[in-house]
Amino acid sequence: MAAGHWPADMIDGEHLYELMGLTSADPDQIGQEAYGHLLDFETAVDDAHLKGRVKRFTAKDPTSGDVVAHGYKRSEALAILRSMAKSPAPAATPPSTT
């Protein structure tokens, strides 16, 4: 299922970068720093799904029944992204004194 075929309140799992205001998930186009943030966001969404905090929906090919895409409620993915923005950066590890 193409990203444009999900209902308006859903986002294709392959297009989470759009919620970050990015035009691509290609690190050569968006830069390594933005790509790192995108990977963190995708990991957070996956973790939330595995922990049962968000539901992952599937789109299937009507002929074969094969899963062709995964999607999420846009509001749930945005909530994860916003919570990441509010999280303080991890404290720096002090240098070893040994």
Give the pLDDT score at 96: 52
Note whether residue 33 is domain-resident: no
pLDDT digits (tens, 9 = 90+) for 57-70: 999 999 999 999 99
Residue 98 lies in a domain: no
User: Tokens 């970068």 correspond to what residue?
Assistant: 17
Count structural domains, the chain.
Answer: 1
Q: With pLDDT > 70 as the criterion, what percentage of the chain qualifies?
A: 84
b or e along 11-43 (b: 16 or more beta carbons within 10 Å of the residue's beta carbon)?
Answer: bbbebbbbbeebeebeeeebeeebbebbeebbe
Residue 98 has pLDDT above 70, yes or no: no
> Is residue 32 situated within a structural domain?
no
C-alpha to C-alpha distances, 23 to 14, 38, 70, 83, 98, nearest whole angstrom? 12, 12, 19, 22, 46
Instruction: Name the pLDDT band for 5 (thresholds 50, 70, 90).
Output: confident
Contact 75, 10 (CB under 8 A): no
The residue range of the domain holding 42 is 10-21+38-86
Examine residue 68 and state whether it is found in any structural domain, yes or no.
yes
What is the structure's pLDDT at 1?
A: 45
φ/ψ of residue 49, rounded to 5: -65, -45
